Amino acid sequence: MEVIFESLELNPDYLHEDIAKGSQVIAVNCYPACPEPDLPLGLPPHTDYSLLSIILQNHQGLQIMDQDEKWHSVPVIEGGLIALVGDHMEVLSNGQYKGVVHRATVNLEKKRLSIASLHSLALGKKVRPAPALVDEQHILSYNEGGFSDFLDFISGEDIVQVAVFYTEAPQNVSSSVKDPKTENRTPKS
């Protein structure tokens, strides 16, 4: 995550303590062979509620959506891991990074296994855009939220539509997010 923070021009140790005390969820999914693989989806399109998700798959089946809403299969590289940016990183980056929309498909002949490791802040910790990434030219684009807020929200919503949870931020409130390191900064032109 240090490389991602550097790419955002944040200190590589940004949120180091919060990440070290954060949560990790492991999901092991088994997708049996299916005689009609074009009919079912193994897992519907979604983004992960995490900073970063790391996935290991034994056979091709993971697909990601590009910005033109086209699906692309992620190749299997022996011993390789797949890293996906999640919802928390989208919020933290104030939208500079987007959560990767992905889904799992099934195979006609082979059983597929995937192991996903989702890395997030602690369950009680709220995530919000980094103050250094909010200014007059980059308005606050996401609400602050935590895991319990997220669970309350999805309990009454379609799980595929959860992106709305963070995106209803108040408009023109960049001045309400203050950071002593950037408060007196001259706006970028």
| AA letter at 34 | C
Give yes or no for a contact between 128 and 162, defined as CB atoms under 8 angstroms apart: no
CA distance linking residue 58 with residue 76, whole number of Å: 7
pLDDT tens figures, 81-138: 999 999 999 999 999 999 999 999 998 899 999 999 999 998 889 999 999 999 999 9
Domain ranges of the chain: 2-176
Note the pLDDT of residue 176: 36
CA distance linking residue 13 with residue 1, whole number of Å: 9
CATH topology assigned to domain 2-176: Jelly Rolls (2.60.120)
Q: What is the pLDDT averaged over residues 51-70?
A: 95
Note the pLDDT of residue 22: 92
Give yes or no for a contact between 166 and 90, defined as CB atoms under 8 angstroms apart: yes
pLDDT tens figures, 148-177: 777 777 676 554 554 445 554 444 333 333
Confidence of residue 180 (pLDDT cuts 50, 70, 90): very low
Give per-residue burial for 24-61: e unless 16+ CB within 10 Å, then b.
eeeeeeebeebeebeeeebbeebbbbbbbbbbebeeeb
Residue 77: CA atoms inside 13 Å, Cβ hemisphere, count? 6
pLDDT tens figures, 46-56: 999 899 999 99
